[in-house]
Amino acid sequence: QSVLTQPPSVSAAPGQKVTISCSGSSSNIGNNYVSWYQQLPGTAPKLLIYENNKRPSGIPDRFSGSKSGTSATLGITGLQTGDEADYYCGTWDSSLSALFGGGTKLTVL
Amino acid sequence: QVQLVQSGAEVKKPGASVKVSCKVSGYTLTELSMHWVRQAPGKGLEWMGGFDPEDGETIYAQKFQGRVTMTEDTSTDTAYMELSSLRSEDTAVYYCATVFIAAGTSSSFFDYWGQGTLVTVSS
């Protein structure tokens, strides 16, 4: 059971928009930045969003992040079949331990 | 650009130990904060521990304390993670990953990942 709560799965049609939520508490998300990671099947996770809403070089602006209080959200617009992956939110807690959400499997119908 | 190349898959018996390596290129290990994350089959990501440059110490997740040791060989820019007293629940892919820490802020995140090392624990 992860400290950060994500929906197990989300789905949407190609071209549509989807959002993935990540819920935590004041001891983690509430007082720290949130990052998001994309894990394509059979590969290592890849940084998608950092500092709540910033994209590393090379990440298209179809991907966005936001944070409010003790929750964060990843948004993906213009869905493509290549976006099918597991998505994880991440942050830190007050004891300097890294935390990950349980992961959300995105299916592009 | 940081590149992390991990050692190959391992099969171990219960009770044994495993040592996974992570070779750094593009930067020196002393410039990086190296961490380890594992992923059991079909499960999510689980942080095991990593180097805290603020105090120069390695922090371990409470779950693994006493059973995991993370070391670094700066002469070869290679990080190691050794897990002892293995049990079947330790079967997982183990990743090394660097944590970027923005100076003067509380921002830190996993920016580069190794390709993963599958460790199978089976009798």
Q: Give yes or no for residue A35 having a pLDDT over 80.
A: yes
Token pair for residue B94?
């183990």
The answer to whether the CB atoms of B61 and A97 lie below 8 A apart is yes
What's the rounded mean pLDDT across residues A35-61?
Answer: 97
Q: Which helix (H) or strand (E) holds B21?
A: strand B18-25
Q: How far is CA A91 from CA A26, A36, A96, A106, B92, in A?
A: 12, 9, 10, 21, 22
The answer to whether the CB atoms of A96 and B46 lie below 8 A apart is no
Check residue A1 and give its pLDDT: 76
Nearest CA in chain A to B52: A96
d(CA A85, CA A18): 13
d(CA B121, CA A67): 39
**pLDDT digit string, tens, across residues A69-93:** 999 999 999 999 999 999 999 999 9
Residue from the list A44, A50, A102 with its beta carbon closest to the beta carbon of B114: A44
d(CA B114, CA B7): 10
Check residue B93 and give its pLDDT: 98
* Residue-level pLDDT, tens digit, chain B, 123 residues: 899 999 999 999 999 999 999 999 999 999 999 999 999 999 999 999 999 888 889 999 999 999 999 999 999 999 999 999 999 999 999 999 999 987 777 789 999 999 999 999 999
Instruction: Flag whether residue B110 sits within 8 Å of chain A, measured between CB atoms.
Output: yes
Which phi and psi (to 5°) does residue B92 adopt?
A: -175, 170
Residues 10-29 of B with CB under 8 A from A: none
What's the rounded mean pLDDT across residues A50-55?
Answer: 96
Number of H helices, E strands in chain A: 0, 9
Count other C-beta atoms under 10 Å from residue B66's C-beta: 9
